[in-house]
Structure 1
Amino acid sequence: MEEVVTMKRGAGAGDTPDVQAYVFAVARALNAETIRRWDAVTFDAVVVLSKQFRYYSGRHILIAWNPHFGWSLGIEGQRTDRVLIIGGLGIGRRPPPEAIADRTDELIADLLHLEYRARDAFPVPTLVHRLDGGPSPTNRTERGSAGG
């Protein structure tokens, strides 16, 4: 069973109500459907959007947060314990949710433009594994996820 918290159930990130409220506000600003707890070392939370990149086999776009370096844009990995990071949002460690939503939309639009016009210029993401020894991760290809 994958460790997922839907928007209806709460933020699912961090140990304090302040961090949970912040991550939840970011997810709300992005109209995200899912927030995942992460290992609190590489990322505290992963917010999965409903948008996808065709170039990356239709994987869902996400943003991941670490309070020390801020938010990063990425895509889902083949399994739920992996994400592929494309790059940082570059707007600070804890910017307001609206600024995160605006910058995320801007980066997604730029990448979608590349998807249609300059595929050779598309960035190669960096694979990040979750460090905790939680439950066995779900293989996306086994559950029939799009592009998994």
Structure 2
Amino acid sequence: MKKQAMYWLGMGLLSCSLLINCTAKDKHKAAEDAQEAQDKVERATDRAADKTKKAFDDVATDVKDAGQETKEDWQRERSELSVKVEDQKLALQKEIDRVDGKIKVAKDKEKIRWQERKAKLEVKRDELDASLKKIQNNAKEDWKEFKRDLNRKVDEAQKSLQD
């Protein structure tokens, strides 16, 4: 019986020893797996952060480029519109000078009509002159409305020349 007790005691110790060793190995393996998973998550997070930063930088560059293109377009349009207004002012002044010649040789009744025409042309010229000065000071946000208004004034001036 003593042998049997010793046998069972030895088997118990051996079993406990094996169970303890297995769980320690399992715990060690689980800890390694957890560390590996954490490392993978950190690497994935770093890659995602890098991609996000790159995407943000790309968007920032695109916005900056678009802003530069818009600024260049705005400056080009301002320049073109300034030339258009200057040309129209010159045409109005030429017509005013022609009307002055008519006024000098016209009879009283015709003289009044030519003076009225001259006054209308001078008003149109002065409006264009004021608008031209505004072009240099105009802010971007008002640009479209200003351009529409100025084109309307140029059209009116052209109609005045045709009358």
Q: Name the TM tier (shorter chain).
A: under 0.3
Give TM-score, length-normalised by structure 2.
Answer: 0.25
Structure 1 or 2, whichever has the larger Rg, is 2
* Structure in which a larger fraction of residues adopt strand: 1
Give TM-score, length-normalised by structure 1.
Answer: 0.27
* Structure in which a larger fraction of residues adopt helix: 2
